[in-house]
């Protein structure tokens, strides 16, 4: 947290216990804060909220400033009537769905040491939208959006490296994708995309 500490006495409505308690509620253990001010009521308010506070040398001609850290795990105050179940320290998770996204998310978590349970409504995975008889993997290119032209080629090359490195074999072929100009509008889109000189596609897309 970074708090603007310029003369807090002139704006006391901003420095309230509600603010400090909200900061503590949203702070994980190890979270830090710093503020330009060294006012005592600010330090005491943050301490009462749960932060460990200390004064440090200030910036420039400022003699002192306040820094703090959340060193404890605060239990949230319940506003709901039902029972609160504390978080588990175990690295276990459940993923619902049997498609490509669920499979790759499971793999990513397994590689990070998590124990994963995958729930799928079908008898076998990839029976829904990911169960097309044949799929095509290619980047979306656009002459209108530079951010898309940066993101999708990078995502495509990442996906290709990931699929090639999977520890399982599956039927696929990196043979490229042909996009046909089946009408005047689609022909114009293809021509504009090809002519878009700002697109810097990797060699893998050629």
Task: Kindly list the distances between the CA atom of residue 124 and the CA atoms of 120, 121, 164, in Å, as whole numbers in the listed order.
Answer: 8, 8, 23
Q: What is the model's pLDDT at position 81?
A: 64
Would you write out the chain's pLDDT as a tens digit for each of its 206 residues?
Answer: 998 867 787 888 888 999 999 999 999 899 999 998 888 999 999 999 999 999 998 877 788 999 999 998 877 666 666 676 776 778 899 999 888 889 999 999 999 999 999 999 888 888 877 667 778 888 887 777 778 878 888 999 999 999 999 988 888 899 988 888 899 998 888 888 777 645 555 554 54
Return phi, psi of residue 204, to 5°.
Answer: -65, -20
pLDDT (0 to 100) of residue 204: 47
Domains of the chain are 2-69 (3.30.110), 90-130 (no CATH), 137-206 (no CATH)
pLDDT of 176:
86
Are 158 and 202 spatial neighbours (Cβ–Cβ below 8 Å)?
no
| Phi–psi pair at 68, nearest 5 degrees | -150, 165
Q: 92 in helix, strand or coil?
A: strand
Task: Estimate to the nearest angstrom the gap between the alpha carbon of 144 and the chain centroid.
Answer: 26
Determine the pLDDT at residue 149. 79
């Amino acid at each position: 947290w970074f708090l603007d500490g310029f003369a807090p006495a002139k704006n006391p409505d901003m420095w309230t216990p509600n603010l400090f308690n909200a900061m503590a509620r949203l702070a994980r253990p190890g979270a830090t804060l710093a503020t330009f001010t060294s006012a005592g009521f600010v330090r005491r308010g943050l301490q009462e909220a749960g932060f460990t506070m200390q004064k440090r040398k200030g910036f420039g001609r400022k003699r002192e400033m306040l820094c703090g850290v959340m060193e404890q795990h605060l239990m949230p105050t319940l506003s709901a009537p039902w029972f609160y179940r504390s978080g588990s320290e175990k690295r276990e998770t459940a993923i619902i769905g049997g498609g490509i996204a669920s499979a790759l998310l499971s793999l990513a978590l397994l590689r990070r040491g998590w124990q994963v349970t995958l729930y799928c409504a079908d008898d076998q995975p990839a029976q829904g939208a990911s169960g097309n008889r044949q799929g095509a993997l290619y980047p979306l290119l656009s002459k209108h959006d530079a951010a898309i032209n940066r993101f999708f080629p990078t995502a495509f090359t990442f996906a290709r490296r990931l699929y090639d490195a999977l520890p399982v074999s599956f039927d696929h072929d990196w043979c490229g994708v042909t996009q046909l100009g089946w009408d005047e509008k689609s022909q114009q889109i293809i021509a504009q995309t090809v002519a878009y000189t700002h697109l810097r596609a990797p060699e893998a897309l050629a």
